[in-house]
Amino acid sequence: MPEPMGFFTDTTVCIGCKACEVACKEWNQLPAENGGVGELSGDSYDNTRKLDGIHWRHVRFIEQFKAPYDGRWLMMSDVCKHCVQAGCLEVCPTGAIIRTDFDTVVIQSDVCNGCRACIAACPFGVIDVNPVSGTAQKCTLCYDRLKVGLEPACSKACPTDSIQFGSIAELRTRAHKRVDQLKAQGVKAELYGADPDGALGGLNSFYLLIDEPEVYGLPRHPQLPSRNLTKSATFSAASAAVLGVLALVGLRKRRMDEQSRGGGGAGNV
Amino acid sequence: MSDTFFSAAPHWAWFIILYFFVGGIAGGASLLAAVADWFGGPEDRPVVRTGYNVAAVGAILSGALLTIDLGRPLRFWHMLFQSANFPTIMFKGWSPISFGAWGLLLFGLFSVLAALGGMAEEGRLSNPALRAVGGAVRGGLAKLVGGVAGLLGVFIAGYTGILLAVTNRPVWADSPWLGALFIASGMSTGAAALILLAPRRGATEQSLARLSAFDTRALVVELLVLVLFLASLGSVNRVWVGFWGLVLLVGVVGLGILAPLRLHMQRRPLASAAKLVLLGGFLLRLATIFVSEGIEHYRVTAGM
């Protein structure tokens, strides 16, 4: 049984070259968007904008400019977090989403029927439909490459080692060392998703950030969708009980009216 | 900002909205029919039979709407059986979409049986096979089948709201009240559908007046739960500033709840109030789905 594998993404060394995006699309044979006709976002140097069914890697550009010559670029190569407690896997009604022997989360495209429950369940907005397959798709952490001893295409292509692939235990050690190094330099660096006791039992793709998680498009406290199940079901049952009683009361009242008119006995209620 | 704003929209649109609406009507009508079946008198039979028919047609339509909404419709059965290990059952009790798939299948089965029983009672079945099945559903068995269809009906009306809550989407996952709201709406729209359809099958004035009285109470419950739903959203309520807020306020609250309540109070013809209740029930699903569907996470992050 292999040990848990994943990514550590050090956003401080990402240069926004998007080689990871290209490598991912090429290896996984993901179709072009809009029939291959280039479409500019018009409000950012980032033109792919988001993760979806045909973009399993996305380099997010955070363009923090208050005024000309007063700002900075933050770049983060984003991907499925391969959560230890995965919301998508939790809700998937077909069993298409599985946890692999590498502790990663994979959607089996031949099982998925495109109900899209996983899209709404993912707290990170990672999954979407691939219009060619009609199924929900996302990063597989290159399961096919891992099985033959290769590293994922994106981390292999990354020219700055912003994306590092390895065993989770080793990556965490490396990440903590890097945070200490940056803090010693006066940089406000934090890890996101590296804590196994933190949100979702830790993320098997975790990040080093130098700003708030929200700035990078990451929820501060990602949660499982099932957190709402008990409360929502209880309130629904209460509502059903109230309306059921109202329906019964209407009938009982009528029958009592009938009894009072006809002099029926109590056993007739 | 709620953490739900960082998720992506599942593209649940018109087919799902129609399903939530039709499923609500079918579920509400089924429960009302079952209550009238168990506790009503002989004069309530037209309402009972209409209720089971609405439930059966609604269940079949619901299944069709859900299937054509899938990215791969021919794989609809993957929700019921493990595709690689057929016929091993596929069921996750903690996933509303999974138990909903089974709930809808069972609701369809029991409501169709109950409807066939009702049609056999009226002598409306000409097909020998259907007549045989319908004829078997009578007496105590008919009550049992109807009762199960009624209980499954209220489940179908409400689980859709729980399904929305068990996500990470804005509005849906920010309140525990959507299931309760959809049940109240399902019951009121179910009663409205019966008020409109039961007269064709000979429903008495007395039966219709009772349905109308129930509808009034259901609308009051719906309004109360809607207030609780909005109160529970807190700062997320800012999403209602815009078109969908207008639909909720004018369409759902004004036309769908307050206007029919006023008509009920004035003892106006029941049909016009019932039509408004149905409109309100549809607009409720429309507004709650689209207000969240319109929020795109990458735009939220970019402050757009």
Using the predicted structure, report yes or no on whether residue B298 has a pLDDT greater than 80: no
User: Same domain, yes or no, for A9 and A112?
Assistant: yes
User: Same domain, yes or no, for A133 and A177?
Assistant: yes
User: Same domain, yes or no, for A201 and A232?
Assistant: no
Contact A91 B304 (CB under 8 A): no
Using the predicted structure, report yes or no on whether residue B75 has a pLDDT greater than 50: yes
| Owner of token pair 């807190």 | B234
Q: What is the pLDDT of residue A267?
A: 35
The ipTM value here is 0.95
Q: What is the pLDDT of residue A28?
A: 97
Number of domains in chain A: 2
Please write the tens of the pLDDT for every residue from B222-260.
999 999 999 999 999 999 999 999 999 999 999 999 999
Task: Assess whether the previous peptide bond of B269 is cis (omega < 30° from 0).
Answer: no
Range with lowest mean pLDDT among A87-91, B1-5, B28-32: B1-5
User: Same domain, yes or no, for A214 and A157?
Assistant: yes
What average pLDDT does range B273-282 have in this prediction?
97
CA distances from A111 to A104, A115, B98 (A): 17, 11, 15
Q: Of chain A residues 39-68, which have a CB less than 8 A from chain B?
A: 43-44, 49-52, 60
CA distances from A135 to A54, A109, B8, B45, B254 (A): 11, 6, 15, 46, 40
User: Same domain, yes or no, for A251 and A164?
Assistant: no
Using the predicted structure, report yes or no on whether residue B116 has a pLDDT greater than 50: yes
User: Same domain, yes or no, for A155 and A240?
Assistant: no
Of B3, B79, B84, Cβ closest to residue A222 = B3
- Do residues A213 and A219 touch, judged by C-beta distance below 8 A? yes
User: Same domain, yes or no, for A237 and A178?
Assistant: no
B285 CB-side CA count, 13 A = 29
- Do residues B53 and B115 touch, judged by C-beta distance below 8 A? yes
Q: What is the pLDDT of residue A78?
A: 97
Contact A214 B301 (CB under 8 A): yes
Domains in chain B (CATH in brackets) are 3-301 (1.20.1630.10)
- A31–B contact, CB cutoff 8 A: no
DSSP track, A45-76: S-SS-S-BTTBSEEEEEEEEEEETTEEEEEEE
Q: What are the residue ranges in chain A where pLDDT is below 50?
A: 263-269
- A243–B contact, CB cutoff 8 A: yes
pTM of the model: 0.94
Please report the sign of the dihedral spanned by the C-alpha atoms of residue A99, residue A100, residue A102, residue A107: negative
- Structural domain range at position A247: 227-268
User: Same domain, yes or no, for A12 and A72?
Assistant: yes
What CA–CA distance (Å, rounded) separates B15 from B76? 15
Q: What is the pLDDT of residue B275?
A: 97
- A241–B contact, CB cutoff 8 A: no
Q: What is the pLDDT of residue A269?
A: 30
User: Same domain, yes or no, for A205 and A232?
Assistant: no
- Do residues B108 and B76 touch, judged by C-beta distance below 8 A? no
Please report the sign of the dihedral spanned by the C-alpha atoms of residue A243, residue A244, residue A250, residue A253: negative
Please report the sign of the dihedral spanned by the C-alpha atoms of residue A83, residue A88, residue A90, residue A95: negative
Q: What is the CATH number of the domain that holds A166?
A: 3.30.70.20
Q: What is the pLDDT of residue A268?
A: 35
For residues B269 and A84, which has the higher predicted lDDT (pLDDT)?
A84
Using the predicted structure, report yes or no on whether residue B264 has a pLDDT greater than 80: yes
User: Same domain, yes or no, for A155 and A236?
Assistant: no
User: Same domain, yes or no, for A62 and A82?
Assistant: yes
What average pLDDT does range B280-288 have in this prediction?
98
- Mean residue pLDDT of chain B comes to 94
User: Same domain, yes or no, for A236 and A135?
Assistant: no
